[in-house]
Amino acid sequence: MVSPILELTNINKSFGHVHANKNINLKINKGTIHGIIGENGAGKSTLMSIVFGLYQANSGTIKVNGKKINLRSPKDSIINGIGMVHQHFMLVENFTVLENIILGFEGELVFGKNLEKAKKDLKDLCDTYKLNIDLNSTISDLSVGFRQRVEILKSLYRGAEILILDEPTGVLTPQEVDELFKILRSLKEEGKTIVLITHKLIEIMDLTSEVSVMRQGEMVGHTKTENTNKEQLAEMMVGRSVLLRLDKSEVKAGEVLFSVKNLTVKDDLDVTRVKNVNLEIRSGEILGLAGVTGNGQTELLEALSGIRKVESGEIYLEGKKVSDSQNFLDPRELKDKGLAHVPEDRQRMGLVTDFKAYENLIFGYHDQQPFSKSSVLNHRDIISHSKKIMEEYDVRPQSPNLITSNFSGGNQQKIILSRELNENPKVLLVGQPTRGVDIGAIEFIHQRLIDMRDRGAAILLVSVELDEVLSLSDRIVVMFDGKIVGEKENKNVTDRELGLLMAGVV
Amino acid sequence: MEFLSDIASLINSTLRISTPLVFAAMAGIFAERSGVIDFSLEGKMLMAAFVAAVGSYFLGNPWLGLLLAIIACVSLSMLHGFASVTYKGDQVVSCVAINILIIGLTTALAAAWFGQAGLTPTLNSDQRFLEVNLPFAESLRDVPIIGTIYSDILSGHYIFVYLAYLSVPLVFWVVFKTSFGLRLRAVGENPSAVDTAGINVFAMRYKALAINGVLIAFAGAHLSTAVNANFFREMSAGRGYLALAAMIFGKWHPKTALVACLLFGFTDALQIRLQGVELPAIGEIPVQLIQAIPYVLTVVLLAGFVGKAIAPNAIGQPYIKER
């Protein structure tokens, strides 16, 4: 019988009225890779932030190696051998790797002897785990994959025996994921314990030996990974059975509805982010745009939807030119011509989160009949329309008067989708449709997008979730460094092939 | 020869005039590198000038006046921290409140204690700092070049002038060569990274503000107990804001901030020198126009020449640990 290295008993944590962790019990055995799976908002990150000392639990006990410990700050947990790699890296971007790692553990007031020792120790650690990091490089020059390695190295240098990783693969290409998993396995070989927080079933099956499932703040099950499967875990996560595979009919692509010729776009800092891009989207097809975050997808989507100025090149809607560097239609005019846009960052661009749901449900259409007449809003019709549409799109709770920020991420997304899809657009531009959305809602949103396509709309799907691009798209283009680096029919294409394109290797 | 001595006196005035700017800019670097905006340099400088003058007048010793000024400025910094670090209030609003408070408070207290609105009694030579003559300044005066540099430019300043220029390498060393400096810079860039390294973000910001208070007190004491022998209403005259501009112009870096302070000091010295002087081909320049030079220069430099000044990433944002 192995003894648990980490043991949580009856942990409770509330943020205001939200009970984020309810009576959580968890045992993690030494030298294992233990997965914690659950949907967004299930309380996984909160729980691990408590273990890391960042949040303090309202009640409950935490034991490390059988000894009860009191965690008032991350310092206490670091002393007890707990390290955490956060989803958003905790790195100072304009510091070097070395500076980031020794921060808080300098061991001397004035840099000198200990700094030299730290350099040597870190080189040894890099060699042991084949991390291949240059200690003198600045964080802002490093790729996301390397920044993550810096985080791992940082934890190891600080003496972590238990390493918690919060959604570590969200921003990585498949190849980077392979590298990460290799590192994690070698850490396990050396006797370290790893806690992997994720919402991706495949990672649990690939990497872990034990798994715990969380749902709505509660721990709903523990099992050995070998005794379970993806379907069973999904059901535990969601609380009902889930369709993991999409049913999709053969593509019946018609004429070209939307096309882009030699498009170049700059960002706010005057850096060229989209370089000479050409695209064609036909009626009745979904074109997937894959790529690692920050390779120009955001600027492309903004230019296509009329939010950002076109530097050079042209955009055509139904064969007619709508934008070039001289003349362009604004988002409202594009909307009138049948182009709808679901922005990537829904809280910033898609919604006014402090407004009520019904206000967000009519935004952009609020000055049209029947919502308003002679510039005066018609509340009765707006509310009845909102109720109808919320029911149709299964927005929960179905209360048009609720402030939008009180809806979950998935339901906020449904509010935007319902607003945009309700007008039956000819062309739909959609960015990150399921970012931060729970599995149940993902299934629903995907089905809606496919319905739209089957009705003859042309859809551009921009997503960093490769699985999503693969399961929805009829054709896939990959963007790297502002350029389209590859185009594939979505038949027999694998995530590895796309991953190589996304990394700019091919 | 007259030209040479003109230059020497211009450099001499530049060093003196830049002194409060240098202290204030160094104070600003500590606050802002830790992520706390400090618009209240102006108010604190005024407070220090008042407290130093009053303290020295009552206690008869300018060093005690300086000590009281330090206590007053550190307290004001703590007040700023209390409002904007602990209670996460808007940092600019907190600073503006301090500035307005001090203008009123110093004027009112001077009126209550000395019967003159915004004026404190003149200090005698025991109660104020006197000019320091460096050793051998007199005997070296007649040596060409060296004599001019040493005796006419470097010697004969108030103690604060020397301290100000010594503070620059010291600040540089603290900020870039010590673990405290590393943490200071980190907390202004990404407080979450500091928190997850087991360091108390709030404590770091309070420490930075305390140092800020000490440094700015020197600027105020310089004004009222060294170059002047009393406090008068609003005697800081925008130097706190100018120092802030110099700090931003210097990209939050002690060395470049020093250069900016000297540049501002130089334009000020120049405008004093140019007042009433007939320039060839131009004639006499109106005083108002000359006096505007440092401010116009600030705007031009900040807007055009320096390029984008990149502030510490987390500046102005209160650290919120739990969502």
Chain B positions in Cβ-Cβ contact with residue A80 (cut-off 8 Å): none
The residue type of A255 is E
Q: What is the fold of B2-122+138-302? A: ABC transporter involved in vitamin B12 uptake, BtuC (1.10.3470)
Asked if the model's pLDDT at residue B323 lies above 60, the reply is: no
Cross-chain residue pair B186–A55, CB shorter than 8 Å:
no
Angle of helix B254-274 versus helix B239-249 axis, rounded to 10:
130
What value does the mean pLDDT of chain A take? 91
Three-state DSSP class for residue A380: helix
Q: Which residue has the tokens 């670091």?
A: A78
Phi, psi at A269, each rounded to 5°: -95, 15
Asked if the model's pLDDT at residue B187 lies above 90, the reply is: yes
Cross-chain residue pair B196–A52, CB shorter than 8 Å:
yes
Using an 8 Å Cβ cutoff, are B22 and B168 in contact? yes
Surface-to-core class of residue A462, CB atoms within 10 Å of its CB (0-12 exposed, 13-18 middle, 19+ buried): buried
For residues A54 and A58, what is the distance between their CA atoms, to the nearest angstrom?
A: 13
Cross-chain residue pair B183–A103, CB shorter than 8 Å:
yes
Angle of helix A379-392 versus helix A409-421 axis, rounded to 10:
110
| Residue A84 touches partner B, C-beta closer than 8 Å | yes
Chain A positions in Cβ-Cβ contact with residue B181 (cut-off 8 Å): none
- State which residue of chain B sits closest to A72, comparing Cα positions: B198
Q: How many CB atoms neighbour CB A38 within 10 A?
A: 27
Averaged pLDDT, A239-267: 85
- A6-15, A215-224, A408-417: segment of lowest average pLDDT: A408-417
For residues A506 and A258, what is the distance between their CA atoms, to the nearest angstrom?
A: 28
Averaged pLDDT, A259-283: 93
HSE-up of residue A318 (Cα within 13 Å, Cβ side): 10
Averaged pLDDT, A185-203: 93
Chain B positions in Cβ-Cβ contact with residue A99 (cut-off 8 Å): 182, 186
The residue type of B246 is A
Nearest Cβ partner of B195 from A54, A76, A95? A54
The residue among A80, A32, A37, A67 whose CA lies nearest residue A193 is A32
Tell me, what's the ipTM? 0.90
Q: 3-state secondary structure string, A450-480?
A: HHHHHCCCEEEEECCCHHHHHHHCCEEEEEE
For residues A320 and A333, what is the distance between their CA atoms, to the nearest angstrom?
A: 13
| Residue A108 touches partner B, C-beta closer than 8 Å | yes
Chain B positions in Cβ-Cβ contact with residue A95 (cut-off 8 Å): 185-186, 189
Chain B positions in Cβ-Cβ contact with residue A78 (cut-off 8 Å): 197-198
| Higher per-residue pLDDT: A473 or B277 | A473
DSSP β-bridge partners for residue A29: A4
For residues A369 and A75, what is the distance between their CA atoms, to the nearest angstrom?
A: 60
What value does the mean pLDDT of chain B take? 91
Q: Which residue has the tokens 């009520």?
A: A356
Q: How many CB atoms neighbour CB A360 within 10 A?
A: 23
| Distance of alpha carbon A116 from the chain centroid | 39
Q: Is the pTM of this model over 0.90?
A: no
Q: Are strands A82-85 and A162-166 parallel, antiparallel or unpaired?
A: parallel
Residues 6+ apart with CB under 8 A from A208: A32, A33, A34, A35, A196, A225
Asked if the model's pLDDT at residue B1 lies above 60, the reply is: no
The residue type of A235 is E
Return the CA Rg of chain A: 25
Cross-chain residue pair A92–B177, CB shorter than 8 Å:
no
| Number of residues in chain A | 506
Cross-chain residue pair B179–A75, CB shorter than 8 Å:
no
Asked if the model's pLDDT at residue A263 lies above 80, the reply is: yes
pLDDT at B282: 75
| Residue A56 touches partner B, C-beta closer than 8 Å | no
| Higher per-residue pLDDT: B284 or A273 | A273
A426 DSSP assignment? S
B→A interface, C-beta within 8 Å: 177-180, 182-183, 185-186, 189-190, 192-200, 313, 321-323
Asked if the model's pLDDT at residue B295 lies above 80, the reply is: no
Asked if the model's pLDDT at residue A244 lies above 70, the reply is: no
Chain B positions in Cβ-Cβ contact with residue A54 (cut-off 8 Å): 195-196, 321
- State which residue of chain A sits closest to B311, comparing Cα positions: A94
Surface-to-core class of residue B233, CB atoms within 10 Å of its CB (0-12 exposed, 13-18 middle, 19+ buried): middle
For residues A125 and B35, what is the distance between their CA atoms, to the nearest angstrom?
A: 33
Angle of helix B179-189 versus helix B159-177 axis, rounded to 10:
80
Query: Model confidence over B36-83: pLDDT tens digits?
Result: 999 999 999 999 999 999 999 999 999 999 999 999 999 999 999 999
Cross-chain residue pair A93–B200, CB shorter than 8 Å:
no
Size of interface A-B (CB pairs under 8 A): 74
Query: Model confidence over B243-278: pLDDT tens digits?
Result: 999 998 899 999 999 999 999 899 889 888 887 777
Q: How far is A51 from chain B (nearest CA, A)?
A: 12
Q: How many CB atoms neighbour CB A280 within 10 A?
A: 15
Alpha-carbon distances of A294 from A289, B100, B237, B238, rounded to whole Å:
13, 45, 47, 43
| Residue A111 touches partner B, C-beta closer than 8 Å | yes
Q: Can you point out the beta strands (E) in chain B?
A: 131-132, 157-158, 278-279, 283-284
Angle of helix B293-300 versus helix B239-249 axis, rounded to 10:
30
Interface test with B, best of A15, A49, A92, A105 (most B CBs within 10 A): A92
Three-state DSSP class for residue B162: helix
Token pair listed for B93: 């609003």
Cross-chain residue pair A106–B321, CB shorter than 8 Å:
no
pLDDT at A249: 83
pLDDT band at residue A40 under the 50/70/90 scheme: confident
Q: How far is A56 from chain B (nearest CA, A)?
A: 10
Chain A positions in Cβ-Cβ contact with residue B195 (cut-off 8 Å): 54, 73-74, 90
Cross-chain residue pair B323–A15, CB shorter than 8 Å:
yes
Cross-chain residue pair B193–A90, CB shorter than 8 Å:
yes
Asked if the model's pLDDT at residue A73 lies above 60, the reply is: yes
Chain A positions in Cβ-Cβ contact with residue B198 (cut-off 8 Å): 73-76, 78, 104
Residues 6+ apart with CB under 8 A from A354: A403, A404, A405
The residue among B187, B257, B297 whose CA lies nearest residue B27 is B257
Query: Model confidence over A220-241: pLDDT tens digits?
Result: 999 999 999 988 998 898 887 7
Asked if the model's pLDDT at residue A277 lies above 70, the reply is: yes
- State which residue of chain B sits closest to A106, comparing Cα positions: B179
Chain A positions in Cβ-Cβ contact with residue B192 (cut-off 8 Å): 86, 88, 90
Of all residues in chain A, the percent with pLDDT exceeding 70 is 99
Interface test with B, best of A103, A113, A117, A271 (most B CBs within 10 A): A103
| Residue A271 touches partner B, C-beta closer than 8 Å | no
Using an 8 Å Cβ cutoff, are A251 and A288 in contact? no
For residues B122 and B114, what is the distance between their CA atoms, to the nearest angstrom?
A: 11
Cross-chain residue pair A55–B193, CB shorter than 8 Å:
no
pLDDT at B23: 98
pLDDT at B304: 67
pLDDT at B307: 62
pLDDT at A245: 67
Q: How many CB atoms neighbour CB A10 within 10 A?
A: 13
Chain B positions in Cβ-Cβ contact with residue A45 (cut-off 8 Å): none
pLDDT band at residue B173 under the 50/70/90 scheme: very high
Phi, psi at B162, each rounded to 5°: -65, -40
Torsion (CA) A150, A153, A158, A160 in degrees, nearest 10 = 120
pLDDT band at residue B5 under the 50/70/90 scheme: confident
Phi, psi at A245, each rounded to 5°: -110, 140
| Residue A73 touches partner B, C-beta closer than 8 Å | yes
- A129-138, A175-184, A244-253, B220-229: segment of lowest average pLDDT: A244-253
For residues A487 and A465, what is the distance between their CA atoms, to the nearest angstrom?
A: 17
Averaged pLDDT, A17-33: 93
Averaged pLDDT, B134-153: 86
- A180-184, B17-21, B212-216, B248-252: segment of lowest average pLDDT: B248-252
Cross-chain residue pair A92–B179, CB shorter than 8 Å:
no
| Higher per-residue pLDDT: B287 or B165 | B165
The residue among B37, B55, B45 whose CA lies nearest residue B20 is B45
Nearest Cβ partner of B196 from A86, A94, A106? A86
Using an 8 Å Cβ cutoff, are A440 and A450 in contact? no
pLDDT at A2: 62
Q: Which residue has the tokens 């040894």?
A: A124
Domains of chain A: 4-238 (3.40.50.300), 244-338+425-506 (3.40.50.300), 349-424 (no CATH)
- State which residue of chain B sits closest to A71, comparing Cα positions: B198
Using an 8 Å Cβ cutoff, are A274 and A265 in contact? yes
For residues A332 and A32, what is the distance between their CA atoms, to the nearest angstrom?
A: 55
Asked if the model's pLDDT at residue A411 lies above 90, the reply is: no
Chain B positions in Cβ-Cβ contact with residue A104 (cut-off 8 Å): 183, 194, 197-199
| Residue A103 touches partner B, C-beta closer than 8 Å | yes
Interface test with A, best of B180, B185, B196 (most A CBs within 10 A): B196
Three-state DSSP class for residue A254: coil
pLDDT at B214: 98
